[in-house]
Structure 1
Amino acid sequence: MAKIQTNASGTRSIEVSDQHLATIEQYQLLRDLIDSNGYVDEDVLDKLRFNIRSLLESETGRDKALLDLCLDVIYHPNMKALGLQNLVSLFLDWKKNKTANNGVSAD
């Protein structure tokens, strides 16, 4: 379990589990999410929420892990652009460590 900071002052955070990160990986929720400018802002967070909403409305979105991710992280009242940026960083570190531990190339 890891905590991500969701505001600049550090007074708000969200706990993110390995299961949440695995669900992000399973559904490739962060793929092509951030524009070429590299900035994570509220529009990017809205885009993620719209993508997840469409997944939930489809037959494949009837997954408890995806619902848990939404309730616990993505739609958490404290989730803002900074929180999403920190979630992306956490996910990349998690993926890198997972790949290193499995001895698989990260390409």
Structure 2
Amino acid sequence: MYKIQANASGTRSIEITDCHLETIKKYSLLSGLVNSNGIIDEDILDKLKFNVRGLLESEPGKDKDLLDLCLDVIYNQNMKGIGLKNLVALYKEWSLSHQDTEE
């Protein structure tokens, strides 16, 4: 279980599980999400929400893990641009540490 800071003041946080990170990896949700300027803000969060909504609409009810990721993390009421930035950083760190175990 991991915890990311969801707002600038640090008063809100979101819990992230390995299952959430596996789902992000399975659907490559963060790949190509960030623009060339590297800034992660509310617009990028909206883009992620649209991408996930499209996945859910194309396969309604087929992947409980994707739905859990949406409810617990992406559409969490505390999720803001800074939360997504922290999620991306956590995912990068997590994927590097889990890359060794897969090989």
TM class, shorter-chain normalised?
over 0.9
Secondary structure (helix, strand or coil) at the match of 2:79 reads coil
Q: Which residue of 2 aligns with 1:8?
A: 8
One-letter identity of the residue aligned with 1:12: R
Residue 24 of structure 1, CA deviation:
0.2
Q: Corresponding residue for 1:90?
A: 90
Q: Alignment length, in residue pairs?
A: 103
Q: Which amino acid aligns with 1:11?
A: T
Listed as ranges, the gaps of 5+ residues in structure 1 are: none
| Residues 29-88 of structure 1 deviation map (CA, whole Å, 9 limit, x = unaligned) | 001000000000100000000000000000277200000000000000000000000000
Q: 4+ residue stretches of structure 1 with deviation over 2 A?
A: 59-62
CA–CA separation in structure 2 for the residues paired with 1:7 and 1:65: 25
Which residue identity lines up with residue 33 of structure 2 in the other structure?
L
TM-score (norm 1): 0.92
- Which secondary structure does the structure 1 equivalent of 2:43 belong to? helix
Mapping for residues 1-107 of structure 1, pairs under 5 Å: 1-59=1-59, 62-102=62-102, 104=103
Shift of 1:8: 1.3
3-state SS of paired residue (1:3) = strand
Q: Helix, strand or coil: the match of 1:9?
A: coil
> Whole-Å Cα distance in 1 between the matches of residues 84 and 59 of structure 2?
26
Q: Distance in 1 between matches of 2:60 and 2:34?
A: 24
CA separation of 1:24/1:61 partners in 2, compared to 1, >3 Å: closer, same or farther?
farther
CA RMSD of aligned residues (A): 1.2
- What amino acid is aligned across from residue 63 of structure 2 in structure 1? D
2:30 counterpart letter in structure 1: L
Aligned counterparts of 1:33 and 1:89: Cα–Cα separation in 2: 13
